[in-house]
Structure 1
Amino acid sequence: MARNINDIQRDIDRNRRNLAQTLDEIIDRAKPTNVAGDVKTVMVAKLQDPEIQKIVAGVGAVVVGLVVLTMARSAKRRKELKELRQLLVARDS
């Protein structure tokens, strides 16, 4: 069955409108603010999961422990350097 030119033109116009709408939707989804909003929504939803909360708490505890350990070692080194300086000053005197 042959189609007439008007039917073909209507199909082309409809497809063009659909394509334009699809492109507009893709452009809207790809905007940085929308992507950031989507990521935020997903992360907030995931953080509501008790299992994820336990993991985050564990990782946080490890990070805090490492920071405390680093600070303690740094304080110990400063103290040792101070004592070493005092010994060197006493030896040179």
Structure 2
Amino acid sequence: MGENGHGGAERSPADLEKAGRAALGRPVTAQAEHSRIEPANGSGANGAAPAGPRSPQQIEAEIERARANLAVTLDELVDRVKPANVAKRTADQIRAQFVDPDTGAPRMDRIAPVVGGVAGVLALVIVVKRRGKRKK
């Protein structure tokens, strides 16, 4: 196992964010890639806290980094929950169920049962309506 207890080498926060975005199918925007280079807690690249007390300028810089990170995160959340984007993602997920993403060809093995089910429901509705008319 690696140092992080999960096997493999340690990964930077930026690498972890890229991997997470890729797993969710979202591109890493240039803004997001550059906004989270340094942690907001003032630690250096190796994760250790800086030695000695911090100057007011260091504290201000840390606050600005945290503010920039928060702004990017908020923009990403707003974009993620925007109704048009939710609808597009849902449509893409449904389309992926019925169209082969590699070739773009329809997946008949998935389309046929749906068409059969719709035809069965329509036949049932017609039969029920005709029986209702005969009883009157």
- CA-atom RMSD in angstroms: 2.7
CA drift of 1:72 comes to 3.9
Looking at CA atoms only, which structure, 1 or 2, has the larger radius of gyration? 1
Unaligned stretches of 5+ in structure 2? 1-51, 101-106
Taking the aligned partners of 2:125 and 2:81, their CA distance within structure 1 comes to 42
Q: Which residue of 2 aligns with 1:32?
A: 83
Partner residue in 2 for 1:22:
73
Q: Partners of 1:24 and 1:14 in 2: how far apart?
A: 15
Between Structure 1 and Structure 2, which shows a larger proportion of helix residues?
1
- Counterparts of 1:13-92 in structure 2, within 5 Å, are 13-48=64-99, 53-72=108-127, 74-75=129-130, 78=133
Q: Which of the residues 34, 49, 59 maps onto 1:8?
A: 59
* Structure 1 unaligned blocks of 5 or more: 82-93
Scaled by the length of structure 1, the TM-score of the pair is 0.65
How far apart are the structure 1 equivalents of 2:132 and 2:59? 83
Structure with the bigger RCO (C-alpha within 8 Å, sep 6+) is 2
Aligned residues: 81
Checking the alignment, whether the CA contact within 8 Å between 2:79 and 2:85 is kept in structure 1 is yes
Check 1:23–1:48 CA distance in 2 against 1; reply closer, same or farther (3 A cut).
same
Query: 1-side partners of 2:132 and 2:111: how far apart?
Result: 31
Q: TM-score, normalised by structure 2?
A: 0.48
Checking the alignment, whether the CA contact within 8 Å between 2:98 and 2:110 is kept in structure 1 is no
Counterpart of 2:109 in structure 1: which amino acid? K
